Amino acid sequence: MTLTEFCYAMPKVELHVHFEGSIRPETVLKLAERNGVALPADTLEGLKDWYQFTDFPHFVQVYVAVTKCIKTADDLEMIMREFLEGQKAQNVLHSEVTYTASTIETFCGIPWPEQHAALLRGMEYGKMELGVTCGLILDIVRGHPLERAMQVTEWATTSEGVVALGLAGEEIKGTLEYAPCVALAYERNLPWIPHAGETTGPQTIRDCLAIGNPTRIGHGVRAIEDLTLVAELRDRGILLEVSPSSNVAVGGVSTLADHPLPRLMDEGVMVCLNSDDPPMFSTSINEEYARCAEAFDLNEDILYTLVMNAVNGALVSDERRAELRLAVREGFAELQEEAEEA
């Protein structure tokens, strides 16, 4: 068994993947045809070419166009079902999915209660039919007015299946102004997981730490530019949700070989691997593990640690965490046994 085959077969948990950004070209084509939406391409190959990341404005264009293909709550349920089927096929046991309810409401006209019910139906299908679980991270979009952000916070703190409040979008559009949202989330015992340190430097991460105590940080890789901050992240036990291919694509890191993942691990920071917006960055969670294993010479023990970091950082019940730990432990042992016998 090659290391790539091992990466594909091993059990995993994924904590940083965007619902809208995970929609496969096949699903987008199906939605566009069903809902009469015109796209820049009307074939699967053409759509895959259009999906290819070129720059951030193009990424936003694709993201918005994909979102506009969603017209009904049933579309959302279908996307969730197909997403979880894809996770199951990659041996992902549990996912925590960032979901931008405000954008779906604005572009698609679907009220949050209808969105929520559809997503729960899809998540129940995943649990009962596929044996995989999922939690939602409802995110605030940077640049949106505080009033809108507070509305999202209200949805997040009162809705079943939502495990955290998120903060996403372009980092330069602000962080500190959303402190009242974080305060409300904490008042209602909902964790906060912001995107930070992806395309801007360490200060955005510091801003996030200033207005709350994040359970995890999405990306966070630019922390490496400030070793005092790195030490603080390590000492506070904050898990960084690292998405290497995405970091390279958007320009936060020049090449995969230059990615700070191994340096962060050497500094004792907890990290886990994720796919972010997989079809848009020509990747998958399987590929992220395989690419990093090859680029940084990660052995099976390090891969096990990365997966267990995700298990330990997941926002699940103690019972579910115990199940995940056991499944990962047994899955790795079985694969290692197969590798030794081969």
List active site positions.
198
Length of the chain: 342
Cβ partners under 8 Å of residue 291, min gap 6? 244, 245, 256, 283
Alpha-carbon span 273 to 293, nearest angstrom: 11
Residue pair 74/122 in contact by the 8 Å Cβ criterion: no
Cβ partners under 8 Å of residue 228, min gap 6? none
Residue 99, both tokens? 């979901």
Q: Phi and psi for 136 in degrees, rounded to 5?
A: -105, 135
Longest pairwise C-alpha distance within the chain: 60
Residue type, 18: H
- Reduced to 3 states (helix: H, G, I; strand: E, B; else coil), residue 313 is helix
DSSP 40: S
> Among candidates 122, 128, 113, 140, which has minimal Cα distance to 78?
122
The vertex-100 CA angle with 131 and 236, nearest 5°, equals 75
